[in-house]
Structure 1
Amino acid sequence: MTIVMNITPLNAWISSEKKPFLIAGPCSAESEAQMETIASQLSEIKAVGILRAGIWKPRTRPGDFEGVGEKGLPWLVNAAKKYGYKSAAEVANASHVEKALSAGVDILWVGARTTVNPFSVQEIADALKGKDIPVLVKNPVNPDIGLWMGAIERLNRAGITKLAAVHRGFSPVEKTPFRNEPMWEIAIDLKRKLPELPIICDPSHIGGDRALIESVSQKALDLDMQGLMIETHPDPDKAWTDAKQQVSPKQLKSILDNLVIRVPQSDDPTFKTVLEELRQEIDLMDEKLLRVLAERMKLVEKIGDYKKDNDITILQVARWNEIVETRTAYAKNLQLNKDFTQKLLEIIHSESIRKQNAIMNDFNEPSKA
């Protein structure tokens, strides 16, 4: 299901000549000299269109550096103007909005900790009514696409049409190589539901480590995201916040030089013909897969009836362990990724339990739409 919004195309408020479109600057504004230095150093990188800096920093624990506050706004704005950038700052409440607009900030963004709270987002939306300013909306910390879309809708209903989403990953439940798990499927789902909405990737927060920024950036561009937000500092190791995930301008240039810029479509008739043929093969395969899954679920229903007649529990842990062990081993021989196989089996098993529960207890649990 797609949702219709009044969205101004990205190239109407951002130069489309710079590819990839890039937002760069330090995690936190630390001093006027720091902002002047980073703006000067970034001026040699043509892709940079927006200078960013954290002015107010929502920290997990009290006592951590929470940003320089309002006094940092002119540092950001003046440095951006001097070197021909637009300026961008995070806002978390109506007071931040008022102060940022008064200082002349060009672009605002709503952070992950704010997106998760509809009351805070609505406060920001109300403060922006009647204002013609671009707003970027980061995904919430938890993997809830409804909250992400809801924040975007609230701002759009307030009259903000220059909108873009920022994919910065989601807080992981288990330890992963990333600071925030990318969960690309959620960003893809957002693109499907809001096709007119530009999506920018924040590889700094996804990776949490400068060594991962290049690979995450490439993946984002290959998924047709329109730009990148990369935290850049004159001396990253001495940054006051998130030092590990920031890069120097020299490192940023190296990352950008290594990225492969691909296009979403081709006008080559041969390419189109071959691609269409391959897609038709995939369509047939998908039909077969769905038919097999439907047949499997019919067997699950028979098992549910049999268990009900004999008062046997739905979950059989030994059987489930056997399925996981044997199927993942078989999938490995077929050169299928282990994690993919595990997730697929879990989805099938969850639906099997739902169907058996409906049979054995004469009611249906709601299935995910």
Structure 2
Amino acid sequence: MKFTDQDTYFTKLQATQGKPLLIAGPCSAETEEQVMQTAVALKKHNIHLFRAGIWKPRSRPNSFEGVGTVGLGWLRRVKDETGIPVTTEVATGRHVEEALKYGIDVLWIGARTTVNPFAVQEIADAMQGVQVPVMIKNPVNPDLALWIGAIERIYQAGIKDLAAIHRGFSSYQKSKYRNTPVWQIPIELKALYPGLPIIVDPSHITGSRELIFPVSQKALDLGFDGVMIETHPTPDLALSDAAQQITPDTFGSILGKLQVRKTNYDDAELVNLAEKLRLQIDSADHDLIAALAKRMALVEQIGVYKKQNNVQVLQLERWKEIFKTRADWAQDAGIKAAFVEELYKLIHVESIRIQTEVMKKEV
């Protein structure tokens, strides 16, 4: 896949009003009045796309699953009366056909659909021969290959105006987020496809309106291309995802605080300073690699000793000791303990692999 950041649907939208790309609207289209009230209120904030869910994939039955096709007429009215392009989620080939019939400008594929290659392929087949911009959310689980696969399927259907939406990933671990960001996954996607716009969905990442601003700002600091934020005239009365929706006025307040950083240094002195610091970082990284190599050589020696004395590879008490002491050392050094804990999990996995290979070697 090849993407260009010139003359695509999304870059043209940004060019009309500047960055970042702003997408806003209710989680669900509930009534025609609610949809129009939200759209009119958002128009003054110069959003690029108005979003609303028509078909809502819910975790359990008997919850609000969207108004269905009738809501497409409401979105068409938004487009006709405000001039704001509109977007909605599609999960089947029939959804695609219905949305296109009503002139929906942009389609998006949700996380629960992205996770299913059969569903994505059905959508791709329905898009053959049409030209409609498509946004693809990450799958619910942290799987970059699955996300790329969904993008590839739509790309191979002839759709070149594509964007990715980062909405976080499900996790059993306790977190302040509804869906943990795992920022390294969208960053890796951006590195692989630098011309592919990536939009953050802070509403679904946070599950809480109080965290929408910091997550949005972090995404922009990382070079993301825009935000998709759920807005509702009366969020607490929303029929779906009430806790993560904000009013159009709050949306405006967040926009007023968001800062778009420069893509690079524009001063020769700053460039020189940055280059000096980068050289120091390179030197520090070289020392880190050398230290890791020394550590792994010692791990291999211990593996040989265990093999000679018929001792199992995993020594649980020793691992607990390492895990605790290294976190303590990190705090003493002013480094976050959680970071070092994650680092040592990787080191431990590699240590187990090395000693297991030693155990398998013939004498």
Length-normalised TM-score, structure 2: 0.97
The 1:216–1:6 alpha-carbon spacing in structure 2 relative to 1, beyond 3 Å, is closer
Supply the distance in 1 between the matched residues of 2:118 and 2:143 (Cα, whole angstroms): 16
Higher mean alpha-carbon deviation, 256-265 vs 297-306, is at 256-265
Letter in 1 for 2:239: W
Does the Cα contact within 8 Å between 1:29 and 1:55 map onto a contact in 2?
A: yes
Q: Work out whether 1:332 is the aligned partner of 2:323.
A: no
Higher mean alpha-carbon deviation, 220-229 vs 261-270, is at 261-270
Letter in 2 for 1:295: K
Letter in 2 for 1:72: G
Does the Cα contact within 8 Å between 2:3 and 2:193 map onto a contact in 1?
A: no
Q: Work out whether 1:181 is the aligned partner of 2:180.
A: yes
| SS at structure 1 position matched to 2:303 | helix
**Counterpart in the other structure of 2:52:** 53
Higher mean alpha-carbon deviation, 328-337 vs 12-21, is at 12-21
- Give the drift of 1:7: 4.9
| SS at structure 2 position matched to 1:45 | coil
**Counterpart in the other structure of 1:142:** 141
**Counterpart in the other structure of 1:296:** 295
| SS at structure 1 position matched to 2:168 | coil
**Counterpart in the other structure of 2:276:** 277
**Counterpart in the other structure of 1:5:** 2
Supply the distance in 1 between the matched residues of 2:272 and 2:173 (Cα, whole angstroms): 43
- Give the drift of 1:361: 2.0
Supply the distance in 1 between the matched residues of 2:348 and 2:80 (Cα, whole angstroms): 57
- Give the drift of 1:44: 1.2
- Give the drift of 1:66: 0.5
**Counterpart in the other structure of 1:126:** 125
Length-normalised TM-score, structure 1: 0.95
Which digits, 9 at most, give the CA deviation of each residue in 1:104-147, with x for residues without a partner? 10000000000000000011111111111110000000000000
Supply the distance in 1 between the matched residues of 2:305 and 2:275 (Cα, whole angstroms): 45
**Counterpart in the other structure of 2:350:** 351
Q: Work out whether 1:23 is the aligned partner of 2:23.
A: yes
Supply the distance in 1 between the matched residues of 2:5 and 2:99 (Cα, whole angstroms): 22
- Give the drift of 1:261: 1.5
| SS at structure 1 position matched to 2:288 | helix
Q: Work out whether 1:154 is the aligned partner of 2:129.
A: no
| SS at structure 2 position matched to 1:14 | helix
Supply the distance in 2 between the matched residues of 1:87 and 1:228 (Cα, whole angstroms): 15
Which digits, 9 at most, give the CA deviation of each residue in 1:153-197, with x for residues without a partner? 111111110000000000012110000000001111111111111
Letter in 1 for 2:165: V
**Gap regions ≥5 residues in structure 1:** 364-369
Q: Work out whether 1:75 is the aligned partner of 2:74.
A: yes
- Give the drift of 1:20: 2.1
Letter in 1 for 2:99: A
**Counterpart in the other structure of 1:366:** none
Q: Work out whether 1:88 is the aligned partner of 2:87.
A: yes
**Counterpart in the other structure of 2:39:** 39
- Give the drift of 1:26: 0.2
Which digits, 9 at most, give the CA deviation of each residue in 1:223-262, with x for residues without a partner? 0000000000011111110000000011111111111221
Provide the aligned C-alpha RMSD in A.
Answer: 1.2
Supply the distance in 2 between the matched residues of 1:13 and 1:28 (Cα, whole angstroms): 27
Higher mean alpha-carbon deviation, 107-116 vs 79-88, is at 79-88
Higher mean alpha-carbon deviation, 292-301 vs 80-89, is at 80-89
Supply the distance in 1 between the matched residues of 2:356 and 2:342 (Cα, whole angstroms): 21
Does the Cα contact within 8 Å between 1:23 and 1:230 map onto a contact in 2?
A: yes
Letter in 2 for 1:229: M
Does the Cα contact within 8 Å between 1:233 and 1:249 map onto a contact in 2?
A: yes
**Counterpart in the other structure of 2:61:** 62
1:107-118 superposed matches below 5 A: 107-118=106-117
Supply the distance in 1 between the matched residues of 2:210 and 2:58 (Cα, whole angstroms): 24
Supply the distance in 1 between the matched residues of 2:209 and 2:11 (Cα, whole angstroms): 31
**Counterpart in the other structure of 2:256:** 257
**Gap regions ≥5 residues in structure 2:** none
Does the Cα contact within 8 Å between 1:18 and 1:49 map onto a contact in 2?
A: no
Letter in 2 for 1:185: Q
Which digits, 9 at most, give the CA deviation of each residue in 1:10-40, with x for residues without a partner? 5544232333211000000011111110111
**Counterpart in the other structure of 2:359:** 360
- Give the drift of 1:357: 0.7
Letter in 2 for 1:139: N
Supply the distance in 2 between the matched residues of 1:263 and 1:74 (Cα, whole angstroms): 40
Q: Work out whether 1:237 is the aligned partner of 2:236.
A: yes
Q: Work out whether 1:287 is the aligned partner of 2:281.
A: no
| SS at structure 1 position matched to 2:199 | strand
